[in-house]
A = this chain, B = another copy of it.
Amino acid sequence: MSEISRTKEPRTAPPEARRKQLIEATITAISKHGIAGTTLTKVTQEAGLSLGLANFHFDSKDALLTATLQHLADEHRALWIDKSRQPDLSAAAKLQAIVNAQFHPKVCNRRKLSVWFAFFGDTPHRSAYLRTSGELDRERQRVTADLCARIIGERGYTIVSPNQVSHMLEGLFDGLWLNILMYPDLFDRNTARDQVNAYLAQCLKEDFL
């Protein structure tokens, strides 16, 4: 995070710090070279550490990749889970929090999106993703469906079912992420967020803008 001093980095650090350092370097390496091009040599070079450290702090390369994924998943979930549990917030505000989390700069930037899609796109790692984070996606979908149901219920208004809206949201979240990653000149996170909100306003007749 912050530099202790200009020239004298301590040569040794607690395992937790090294683990985090290696995970950050892994994110950078994957975003630059893809998973296949991410060698332990590149990761440790990126981190400014020696090759052996990767295998010292993680059982295997695969364990490092899984830890990296878990780190991203935790970071993402932390952005909305708290608000979704506050009983005094409206359903609309909670839904809003989920949308905002999805396009929060901490999560929605090309460096990190690269990593998400690296895991989505590689069949063996996709299995690992489903094992560690699949339930998280299902959880988010259940929560959004539930929130939509409450909003629709309040109004008694029903063009679309809550379940349909939640499916559309999941699709929009991932698809807009992908387009932000691939076509940053055409898609950016702010307009993406606004468009999702506009869609919700259309569906739920709430003021999301």
Contact = CB atoms under 8 A, between A and B. Distances in A.
A123 interface: yes
Interface in A127-182: 129-130, 134, 137-138, 141, 159-160, 164, 167-168, 170-179, 181-182
Contacts of A202: 159, 202-203
B123 A120 contact: no
B167 A174 contact: no
Assign chain A's interface to a size class: 35 or more
Nearest to A164: B195
A31 interface: yes
A22 interface: no
Q: How many copies does the complex hold?
A: 2
Contacts of A176: 171, 175
Nearest to A194: B164
A191 B163 CA distance: 12
Interface stretch (A5-13, A32-40, A43-51, A75-83): A32-40
A208 interface: no
Contact of A137 (B125, B168, B183): B183
Given A122-B35, A122-B118, A123-B33, A171 B175 contact: yes
Interface of A: 30-37, 114, 117-126, 129-130, 134, 137-138, 141, 159-160, 164, 167-168, 170-179, 181-183, 186-187, 191-192, 195, 198-199, 202-203
Given A36-B124, A37-B124, 13 more contacts: A30-B123, A31-B123, A33-B123, A34-B126, A35-B121, A36-B122, A119-B121, A120-B178, A167-B179, A167-B191, A168-B172, A168-B199, A171-B187
